[in-house]
Amino acid sequence: MKKTKAYQTLYQHNPDSQAYMIEISLDDYSELFNGWDASSIKRREIEPELLDYIEQAGNEIPLKENLEVVFYLSPEKRETDKEVKSIDGIKNNFKVLLYMINKTLNTQYRHVFIYLTISMGLITAATFLRNAGEFQILSTILIEGLFIGGWFMLWEAFSTFFFDAYDTRLRKKVFQRFIESNVCFKDTRIESQK
How many Å apart are CA 176 and CA 154, to the nearest integer?
31
SS3 content of the chain, % helix, strand, coil (to 5): 60, 15, 25
> At what angle are helices 48-60 and 165-180 packed, to 10 degrees?
100
Q: Is residue 101 part of a domain?
A: yes
Q: Is residue 166 part of a domain?
A: yes
Q: Is residue 1 part of a domain?
A: no
**Cα distances (angstroms) measured from residue 115 to each of 102, 111, 162:** 20, 6, 14
Q: Determine the pLDDT at residue 187.
A: 87
Q: Is residue 120 part of a domain?
A: yes
Domain that holds residue 71: 6-187
User: Would you say 73 and 185 are in contact if contact means Cβ atoms under 8 Å apart?
Assistant: yes
User: What is the radius of gyration, based on Cα positions, of the chain?
Assistant: 26
Q: What is the DSSP string of 69-93?
A: EEEEE-GGG--HHHHHHHHHHHHHH
How many Å apart are CA 6 and CA 144, to the nearest integer?
52
Per residue of the chain (194 residues), give pLDDT as tens: 567 687 877 888 888 888 999 999 998 888 888 776 656 666 678 888 999 999 999 999 999 999 999 999 998 888 889 899 889 989 999 999 999 999 999 999 999 999 999 999 999 998 888 877 666 777 888 889 999 999 999 999 999 999 999 999 999 999 999 999 999 999 886 543 33
Q: With left for phi above 0 and alpha for psi between -120 and 50, is residue 77 left, alpha or beta?
A: alpha
Q: Is residue 194 part of a domain?
A: no
Q: Is residue 193 part of a domain?
A: no
Q: Determine the pLDDT at residue 6.
A: 79
Q: Is residue 50 part of a domain?
A: yes
Q: Determine the pLDDT at residue 191.
A: 47
Q: With left for phi above 0 and alpha for psi between -120 and 50, is residue 154 left, alpha or beta?
A: alpha
Number of domains in the chain: 1
pTM for this model (two decimals): 0.79
Q: Is residue 136 part of a domain?
A: yes
Nearest Cα to 41, choosing from 93, 104, 77, 109?
93
